[in-house]
């Protein structure tokens, strides 16, 4: 028992991550933005998969390539995101990325049951993916900036944990929202899309407010 107590006491005296690191405003703000970015975009892919297969009747083989457009937007803006951050700064870039993602996501609430709606889905996911990538790059820069070199590794580890938590949380939460609102599959998807867009818009508002406070 004494050995166990000594071990617990030693562990408590040397925590894995010092509280001072996540307590820094930029680390807290950056990781909150990252949580929103990963939770909303990954869950949106789930919702659109549900829409394509259950509403439009796409096979799994046809559904996969439909998300290639989203990937294209992500890759393209991954190249442009550093320029956006350099021009706008971290806070405004985060707000702009989330804003674009929110508008693109909200437009998906217009989706109907006809086959022609695939074009709206492709355009909206392309734009939303581009906005999401700006937000992700902004989150990583924000969450790891303003720290001494000795703390950079810990901050990056926290950011990676935030990414994994966001991915893990997003789909179950949006699935629960869609199921609760599901008179029809399309109805459930649309309600969940609107909740998703609201969360993203909240990320834009928080980022913009935080940016204004730091100026």
What are the pLDDT digits (tens) for 42-95?
Answer: 999 999 999 999 999 999 898 888 888 888 888 877 778 788 888 888 888 898
The answer as to whether 6 is a domain residue is no
**The pTM is what?**
0.84
User: Which CATH number goes with the domain that contains 116?
Assistant: 1.20.1250.20
pLDDT reading at 35 higher than 50: yes
The answer as to whether 7 is a domain residue is no
pLDDT reading at 215 higher than 90: no
Range of the domain at 45: 25-214
The answer as to whether 186 is a domain residue is yes
Share of the chain above pLDDT 90, in %: 43
Ranges 17-31, 75-89, 180-194, most confident: 180-194
pLDDT reading at 9 higher than 50: no
The answer as to whether 8 is a domain residue is no
3-state secondary structure of 105: helix
Q: How far apart are CA 134 and CA 200, in angstroms?
A: 13
Tell me how many domains the chain contains. 1
The answer as to whether 53 is a domain residue is yes
DSSP state of 53: I
The answer as to whether 3 is a domain residue is no
3-state secondary structure of 59: coil
Question: Averaged over 153-165, what is the pLDDT?
Answer: 83
């Amino acid at each position: 028992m004494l050995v166990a107590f000594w071990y617990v006491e030693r562990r408590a005296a040397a925590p894995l991550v010092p509280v001072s690191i996540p307590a820094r405003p930029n680390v807290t703000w950056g990781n909150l933005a990252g949580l929103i970015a990963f939770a909303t975009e990954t869950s949106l892919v789930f919702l659109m998969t549900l829409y394509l297969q259950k509403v439009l009747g796409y096979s799994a083989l046809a559904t996969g390539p439909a998300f290639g457009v989203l990937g294209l937007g992500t890759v393209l803006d991954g190249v442009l995101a550093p320029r956006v951050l350099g021009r706008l700064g971290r806070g405004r870039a985060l707000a702009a990325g989330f804003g674009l993602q929110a508008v693109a996501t909200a437009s998906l609430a217009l989706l109907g049951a006809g086959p022609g709606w695939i074009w709206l889905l492709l355009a909206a996911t392309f734009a939303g993916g581009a906005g999401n990538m700006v937000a992700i790059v902004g989150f990583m820069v924000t969450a790891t900036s303003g720290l001494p070199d000795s703390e950079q590794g810990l901050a990056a580890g926290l950011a990676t944990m935030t990414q994994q938590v966001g991915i893990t949380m997003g789909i179950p939460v949006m699935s629960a929202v869609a199921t609760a609102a599901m008179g029809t599959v399309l109805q459930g998807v649309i309600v969940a899309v609107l909740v998703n867009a609201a969360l993203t818009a909240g990320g834009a508002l928080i980022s913009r407010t935080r940016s204004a406070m730091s100026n």
